[in-house]
Amino acid sequence: MSFSQLGLCAPILSAIAKQGYTTPSPIQQQVIPVILNGQDVLASAQTGTGKTAGFSLPMLHRLSESPRNVRGGRVRALILAPTRELAAQVGQNVRDYSADLRIRSTVVFGGVGINPQMMALRKGADVLIATPGRLLDLYQQNAVSLKEVEILVLDEADTMLDMGFIHDIKRILKLIPAKRQTLLFSATFAPDVMALAESVTNNPVKLSVTPQNSTVEVIEQKLVPVDKEQKIPALISLLKQNNAKQTLVFARTKHGADKVVKRLAGAGIRSAAIHGNKSQGARTKALSALKDGSIEVLVATDIAARGIDIDRLPAVINLDLPNVPANYVHRIGRTGRAGEGGRAWSLVSADEVAELRDIESFIKQNIPRETLVGFEPSAPLPTHAVKASAPASNKPKKPKKPKEGQARQRSDAPKRSEGKGRSAGRGEGRNEARNEGRNEGRRNGRNESRSEGRTPPPSKKGAWAGAGSRA
């Protein structure tokens, strides 16, 4: 199937061709016709499968079909993203795809001055890409009106709805017309998040291209058992033995990320950290440095890493396992993007057995264990029995009929306590999630708190450098 067969207009097809894409990815093949038909969507697809083009291409097509002058401060389509990096990435994609259309798009997020964003909104915007906190701040200053929003998109919806954004989302929903098209996209959807998501949509079409909670199959996953105090030395050894370039390392906390950067510097490995305490300028500089080779390793926390999009990122290393099983899928999804092969190491110590069990149950598979020579743990990690995932059908599910008296949105949606439930991180991780999302719109910009289908290459099997006998 080609993009032309999906019913997209000529200017968009031209823009797609300029980006070098010829064949729509599976999620794009499913979702584009549904969006063009004006239906609400709940779509689950792994990171790197082309979700952004999946919603932005038909959205731009629909806007171009009914062009009109947007008054100052008004918006026709609103895309909400959880982090600055993801908002900037989506904004760039929208600009690329609308290059041959008379479509004005604007991106707003915290961590930078608000005045230029207010000036940009004076012209109005066909498409506004925003983080929730900064959007609400702009609204409170009468810089933006959401009364004319026709299309609402929630990207990384599981994060948006389950890690401190719920109340902001509810506030924003009250400002948007009930008659609209709502599109929710995410790598994963837990049942409770799905229930909340369905309450803000109207008879949504549910789409999925992978089994629920599955991980990217082209990614070669390895679990390296190691004693806790040997984690950073083991990380250094792993990086050096594999001559790792452009490696993304995940740490659970901001303090942990900074500590890793210092230790890597002492070992002669160039690296930088990104997390909620870093300014937008510092985060952008660090990401650019990884892309151009100025540094070899980028150390990140879960929230700060959302939106990172690096072509052919070869490896991801989990220095610490995430507290939230779904975040494991998000993490390793940074490599193996758009069908490219990738590797994901996880350094796991005995005190992380509970997290490991939850992750393996969530992805319905055991991660292969391999010891790192010279860093054998004092005790082996247990292997948990997990149920194999059932084959998934690509056939879209029929939309459910709304229950009598069920509201489309607003305050009767299920309430969750912020910081509790499935995706609530613990300790510093939870605080960063709150800071990233809920405070990112502060007007002085301090502490912003808060590529598409290609044929996958064959996965390289065999021993990894530095790996010995199985644990």
Residue 13 and residue 34 share a domain? yes
10 Å Cβ neighbour count for 71? 11
Q: By residue range, what is the domain housing residue 51? A: 3-213+400-438
Tell me how far apart the alpha carbons of residues 36 and 55 are, in angstroms, rounded to a whole number: 10
pLDDT value, residue 86: 87
Residues belonging to the chain:
471
Q: Which residue has the higher pLDDT, 66 or 164?
A: 66
Cα of first residue to Cα of last residue in the chain, in angstroms, is 45
Q: Which residue has the higher pLDDT, 5 or 447?
A: 5
Residue 61 and residue 140 share a domain? yes
- Is the per-residue pLDDT at 394 higher than 60? no
Residue 199 and residue 264 share a domain? no
For 401, counting Cβ atoms within 10 Å of its Cβ (0-12 exposed, 13-18 middle, 19+ buried), the class is exposed
Tell me the helices (H) and strands (E) count for the chain, helix number first: 16, 13
Tell me how far apart the alpha carbons of residues 160 and 80 are, in angstroms, rounded to a whole number: 8
pLDDT value, residue 330: 79
Residue 208 and residue 224 share a domain? no
- Is the per-residue pLDDT at 420 higher than 80? no
Whether 450 maps to a domain, the answer reads: no
Residue 160 and residue 245 share a domain? no
- Please write the tens of the pLDDT for every residue from 290-347: 988 899 999 998 876 666 667 668 899 999 999 888 888 878 877 866 556 689 999 9
Tell me how far apart the alpha carbons of residues 352 and 333 are, in angstroms, rounded to a whole number: 21
pLDDT value, residue 133: 92
Residue 184 and residue 90 share a domain? yes
Whether 452 maps to a domain, the answer reads: no
- Is the per-residue pLDDT at 132 higher than 60? yes
Residue 143 and residue 21 share a domain? yes
Whether 394 maps to a domain, the answer reads: no
Q: Is 383 left (phi over 0), alpha (psi -120 to 50) or beta?
A: beta
10 Å Cβ neighbour count for 377? 19
Whether 393 maps to a domain, the answer reads: no
pLDDT value, residue 129: 98
- Please write the tens of the pLDDT for every residue from 42-92: 988 766 678 899 999 999 999 999 888 888 999 999 999 988 888 998 999
Global confidence as pTM: 0.67
- Choose the final residue of a domain: 311, 339, 363: 363
Q: What phi and psi values does residue 325 have, to the nearest 5 degrees?
A: -55, -40
Lowest-confidence region among 194-198, 233-237, 327-331, 385-389: 385-389
Q: What percentage of the chain has pLDDT greater than the value 90? A: 47
Residue 197 and residue 235 share a domain? no
pLDDT value, residue 392: 41
208 Cβ contact partners less than 8 Å away, ≥ 6 residues apart? 43, 44, 45, 392, 394
Q: What is the mean pLDDT of residues 388-416?
A: 42
Whether 462 maps to a domain, the answer reads: no
pLDDT value, residue 7: 92
Whether 463 maps to a domain, the answer reads: no
- Choose the final residue of a domain: 317, 337, 363: 363
Residue 246 and residue 343 share a domain? yes
For residue 267, the domain's CATH number is: 3.40.50.300
pLDDT value, residue 208: 81
Residue 327 and residue 343 share a domain? yes
Whether 372 maps to a domain, the answer reads: no
Give the total number of structural domains in the chain. 2
- Please write the tens of the pLDDT for every residue from 254-287: 999 999 999 999 999 999 999 878 877 888 899 8
Residue 190 and residue 52 share a domain? yes
Residue 173 and residue 40 share a domain? yes
Q: Which residue has the higher pLDDT, 187 or 315?
A: 315
Whether 464 maps to a domain, the answer reads: no
Tell me how far apart the alpha carbons of residues 264 and 249 are, in angstroms, rounded to a whole number: 11
- Name the band, by pLDDT with cuts 50, 70 and 90, for residue 450: very low
pLDDT value, residue 192: 62
- Name the band, by pLDDT with cuts 50, 70 and 90, for residue 231: very high
pLDDT value, residue 463: 34
Tell me how far apart the alpha carbons of residues 177 and 183 are, in angstroms, rounded to a whole number: 15
- Choose the final residue of a domain: 304, 337, 363: 363
